Structure 1
């Protein structure tokens, strides 16, 4: 291991030689010896030692304290004072130069070694801390997000991004006369006051929150804030990170408007299909809407995700659209259907699927339409699917469809009533119909007094 280099500053040559011998015995290398303040500065700049042992009382115009102060300002070298004198005035001057040690003459070698080792260690730690602070300062100063530190008296720090966000300069923000509320939008002041009050009481504000700021020129920006308490106990400071989300929020608003237009187009498409079918088949007028309402209520009762609930409702509105290609005389026939006619009727889920699949719905509407006559035991149509091979939405629609159909008038029979319809799904629960939708449907009618409308 390379020996640490030490510069001795001592105007007494014999004493300087004694110190040199002591240092060499302790395992240090002496890079040089200076006998005056100016000599100490010159040799420190030339030799760059690891440490300076500085006698305070030196001959000439410059004493050791003044020399140490200059070395401190120009070079990153720790200084330890050596002195036989220690009056209060001298000690005060010495402390102002932030020395890394102070040794009284005469001293023991073990005391000298301990002081030197502690000085070298503390200097190394101080440099590491300084480097760390510089790294973090660089990160903060160059961050894209606005970062600030504030106290009850106002801003203590604001990075360049905060200046860019608010259009206020750091000097203006950190001025004691600056009013923090200048940058908070009037409509959001109550929110910020509530959070500041909670912070004053020592409560930690968890999570991010949004509010609007007012820029120096009166502009408005939306920010996402993340704040935390820092500082010693009793000195509550707030560090906050503000991210400008103005562009994102505007994009979200445009996206919502676009989705609303998209949804409106879907609704118009569906209503057009419903109207076209009901003009051909007056006996089923309103059937699809009632089925959609019941299926929607069942899905909600089952606590399904919103997208599934909406998919069920949309599919319910057009689940019989395939009947548009079935001859009208079959749809309104007052007698029982022949085998061939029933086969034609059973084609309507497939026809409906082919009509709907070309429309880009955000839900599996076409597949729900295709499967709404499938049954749990595989006895349904058109594909004879069973159990888990049937979509959950289609299982819901199957229950809603049979309940509404049995409750309503048909050309070939009068309405059987809601009681018979509920008896049908109860009787075949688990065989033809999925228990989940059945239980939800029964609860709606028996406990929540749901009505088909």
Structure 2
């Protein structure tokens, strides 16, 4: 049991701070036995710099210390590190700082010192679970971003050799294994097949047939064993046409397996599509279905990316869905036809997709952005348009997503459009996006009440927002009533940071 705990905890670094040398030594010994990496320090002033320079996940620190107390240490650390989990140790509950202070400093909990550390260990394990979840989300985000950057290479159908080389190159980039191989069944005369093998890294060509022959998928798409991950490449009839294998990188196994499932579907579609192009004169119908599969797979990845953007923390969940619903209802209120409403609904879902490429440090910054950071976040509408433009299915919404931060007075971005130069769908999304941002809680300020958000929209009428869209919004609000309107569009909840910090 102890061995398993060490395996679970070895990737988490703890720093213990107390001016009592015996206490820090005791804590170090206790948590090292549980498999954690633990450093100790007894000077609170030096501890601040050690946190700045080190990559610690959890800080255990005493409250009453000299020359400064624990809450002062935390206040300094929070100026440059928002991610480290902090547990405050006190000699007695009465010595703990007020709950308000604990919340303001984002302290995860406090522990009353005793000769047993069971409760403290539970607090630490709770922090570990939260950190693990955040790492999983970050791994998904990074992998999906790399996959999105690389996938257009798979759609280049110039020749068989180049697509196989691209597959292995992308595999190494996304999964960071020590080597990879690709075995694909190729057609021969008289219905026979030959096995085309490509390898990269430290895997030899001679090893590949043995690994493939002993692989038993038993209905699974991805198989993990002996430090290797094998994935079945299938055609549209679910027949296996090849195997992709890669060494596994350190990290959560099921995260890598899920990423591989998404990736191997892209590979399967791309290889099948390539083969159909080689037979295009007699396979037109199959070619059409292959393109549909590529579209569906691409949509799946973009939806996964959108979910990652919305799930990066509790303040961003559901923003795109709420904007999509409100914007579509505004379009219907303006008596637009179904195709127009559908474009608005789809563009609303994906309007912030470009934020998948924006740093968490900028998106989650709790105070005002500097000029460079603001310039970076302003790129998300252009990035989103580029992501969506890679597939014909989204051609109609690309200019809408690109222009949803333009202003009627020409002071918006990225193109400085004004008035009727801005697509009307973008004008509608701008109102829905701003309203949801104002009425939702953010890291850097609390949500505005409905009346204050309405006042902001009215003040921006004609300068930031299209007058007829603001008028439609006010008519909808009056028709529905504030209570029904708030319930339908989920206003006033602590769940979003959809707008910009300016």
Specify if TM > 0.5. no
Larger Rg: 1
- Give TM class, smaller chain: 0.3 to 0.5
TM norm structure 2:
0.37
TM norm structure 1:
0.41
Larger RCO (alpha carbons 8 Å, 6+ apart): 2
